[in-house]
A and B are shown apart, each in its own frame.
Chain A
């Protein structure tokens, strides 16, 4: 982690404050993200973890400005960003880049690998000769041979290679924040490792902040410094990855952890009921996990648990946290303060 090298008062590269995103079609509204806050610094990887419908990908879209928030703010280097991408300052637009889940599908199939990587440079008016050099550098950086792969079309390369091309293209914009949205989940394990290693190296060498979105706790554990666990658009728990996964404070984190299959390791107690999660179309009152939670009380249905300190740099939103993490009297904005402490 970068605590040692970065002064604590430095402004975070990316800050998300009280973010709310809703999708309305006709008369029905989906409450996708409900009051989520977090902050990240350069050279740091923050993982957003959760199952489908947790809102993790929606947060990514809000950060890049592909969906507009209902409430809350996205701040880049301390500056609030417009919700709609087209209204944003062009100079800062390239600061957030994204690597998508579908490796081949996120590259323009009608252009060569080289042209795909060169596109951001071209858009910024970089001259042709320099463009060619940069593309070469970028492809080499992600461990690809520019001579053999450069002239090929995306359809002619493997998934792992395509994903690395995507990373190279994202880096061409020299982003401050790199979002990896389920970037390795479509890949085979043996290939996944290669791509994860490239991402790690990029974060270290380029000093970018990486927002790593994944449903896979095991991947997250080996990639991220901080983890934020989401359930139905609510932030359940946030804190240093090792601490959170070793001793979850939220019941959902514990249940999620227990469900991850690992070779040679017997599964633990499920730690949750068989109930399905509540409908995302109803504005959540109380804790969204309460129906599936073994420790739920009436309070959980009535009052939404605020995010409170649960240890050094850790926050948990639970009325009855695990491990006896005592709730402080006053709810604190630990999502931001905690991570930066």
Chain B
């Protein structure tokens, strides 16, 4: 870019400051993407090769400090914490994706229907959402997981069901405003079938908010799964998940802090990476 030669120094400084801010943004996004890619690669290695076996126990090598052989050390059962963290990522992320799928699809369907059709349907949906929100979430999860067993799908769908109200609220408020837009009225006047109006006019308008909220929801799902596993209502042992590994390492926190630290840092980094990328996505859309 060329600026007129008479541009004063204050303006140049301001221009530079803007560019610096953008550069920091770019670096943060690249780092976040890098972390997620690394996670994905390691997960693939863990699935495809026997190099990272989360279940291999070496009873002679319990609670080993981090070393070249065991970068994150070993846990109380002599299992490699690095391998378990990588395997945990896989489980945690699959749960998060199922959660997101159930929450986003269910919430959008309900929210868009309530916002677009309003009337009695809106009232009924509003009441149901309030009812769901009135039940303590933890109680509900624990009950469902106890009945259905702690599998990846049951945990994922349960947390997902609990996320439906939030998604429904976000999408409903947008559908409410979109239905008043002139282009929707115009679509009605030219006899566009309602399903087509919903798909071509309302959904695309809902999408940006949906995507940016999805990132937030995804991090919430990861944390929720972690908390559940920590409380003992997550995946059944010995299957690794971040929350579960953290819980297992809790008793050894004083003597072998790496058992807890590695999955905790991985969880934190993942949440931050997703949030950063989500922010960028939000900027891009708006």
CB-nearest residue of chain B relative to A103?
A: B182
Give B166-196 interface residues, CB cut-off 8 Å to A.
Answer: 181-183, 185-193
User: A106 contacts which chain B residues (CB < 8 A)?
Assistant: 182-183, 185-186
User: A96 contacts which chain B residues (CB < 8 A)?
Assistant: 189
The distance in angstroms between the C-alpha atoms of A242 and B151, with both chains bound, is 80
CB-nearest residue of chain B relative to A107?
A: B183
Instruction: Check A169–B183 contact: CB distance below 8 A.
Output: no
Taking the closest CB of chain A, its distance from the CB of B3, in whole angstroms, is: 27
Given contacts A102-B182, A106-B182, A109-B183, contact A97 B189 (CB under 8 A): yes
User: A66 contacts which chain B residues (CB < 8 A)?
Assistant: 185, 188
Q: C-beta contact mask, A69-113 vs B, less than 8 Å → 1, else 0?
A: 000000000000000010000100110111011100111111100
* Chain A interface, >50% SS class: mixed
A16 interface residue, CB < 8 Å from B? no
Instruction: Check A110–B182 contact: CB distance below 8 A.
Output: no
Chain A contact residue count (CB 8 A cutoff): 27
Q: Choose among B190, B204, B205 the residue that contacts A119 (Cβ–Cβ < 8 A).
A: B190
A195 interface residue, CB < 8 Å from B? no
User: B187 contacts which chain A residues (CB < 8 A)?
Assistant: 108, 119
User: B20 contacts which chain A residues (CB < 8 A)?
Assistant: none
The distance in angstroms between the C-alpha atoms of A96 and B142, with both chains bound, is 57
B19 interface residue, CB < 8 Å from A? no
Instruction: Check B182–A169 contact: CB distance below 8 A.
Output: no
B201 interface residue, CB < 8 Å from A? yes
The distance in angstroms between the C-alpha atoms of A14 and B13, with both chains bound, is 65
Give B187-216 interface residues, CB cut-off 8 Å to A.
Answer: 187-193, 200-201, 204-205
Taking the closest CB of chain A, its distance from the CB of B187, in whole angstroms, is: 7
Q: Choose among B186, B188, B200 the residue that contacts A166 (Cβ–Cβ < 8 A).
A: B186
Taking the closest CB of chain A, its distance from the CB of B240, in whole angstroms, is: 43
Taking the closest CB of chain B, its distance from the CB of A126, in whole angstroms, is: 12
Q: Choose among B182, B190, B191, B201 the residue that contacts A100 (Cβ–Cβ < 8 A).
A: B182
Residue ranges of A at the interface with B (Cβ–Cβ < 8 Å):
64, 66, 85, 90, 93-94, 96-98, 100-102, 105-111, 119-120, 123-124, 166, 169, 172-173
Contacts beyond the supplied A110-B201, A110-B204, A166-B186: 15 A-B pairs with Cβ under 8 Å? A66-B185, A66-B188, A93-B189, A94-B190, A97-B189, A97-B190, A100-B185, A105-B182, A106-B183, A107-B183, A109-B183, A109-B204, A110-B205, A120-B190, A123-B191
A-B contact pairs, 25 of them (CB 8 A): A93-B189, A93-B191, A96-B189, A98-B186, A100-B182, A100-B185, A105-B181, A105-B182, A105-B183, A106-B185, A107-B186, A108-B183, A108-B186, A109-B183, A109-B205, A110-B201, A110-B204, A110-B205, A119-B187, A119-B192, A123-B190, A123-B191, A123-B192, A166-B186, A169-B186
